[in-house]
């Protein structure tokens, strides 16, 4: 996968250019990035591609956020039944 596919809107690239960006901002950008990926594209593969492209930025908060994304298990949403499932 090339970087253009992995970061189609350049959101990750721009996050690495922002001086003083924090974890919260990186998480928000990460969510926008994840939603901008083309359907059918493997998000973990895209994360690996982006991490390789910015491997010299190991102390950057976006690197930590991407790393967390790779290490967390993705679970399908669990259905909640009964009264708990009907609460708003």
Each residue's pLDDT tens digit in the chain (88 positions)?
Answer: 999 999 999 999 999 999 999 999 999 999 999 999 999 999 999 999 999 999 988 899 999 999 999 887 666 666 666 676 666 5
User: What pLDDT sits at residue 57?
Assistant: 86
Cβ burial of 77 (10 Å; 0-12, 13-18, 19+) is exposed
pLDDT, position 56? 87
DSSP states along 9-23: T-HHHHHHHSTT--H
pTM: 0.77
What pLDDT, on the 0 to 100 scale, is given for residue 8? 94
């Amino acid at each position: 996968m090339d970087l253009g596919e992995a970061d189609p809107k350049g959101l990750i690239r721009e996050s690495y250019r922002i001086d003083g960006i924090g974890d919260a901002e990186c998480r928000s950008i990460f969510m926008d990035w994840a939603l901008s990926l083309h359907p059918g594209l493997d998000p973990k593969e895209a994360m690996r591609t982006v991490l390789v492209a910015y491997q010299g930025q190991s102390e950057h908060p976006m690197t930590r956020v991407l790393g967390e994304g790779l290490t967390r298990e993705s679970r399908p949403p669990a259905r909640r039944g009964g009264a708990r499932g009907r609460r708003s």
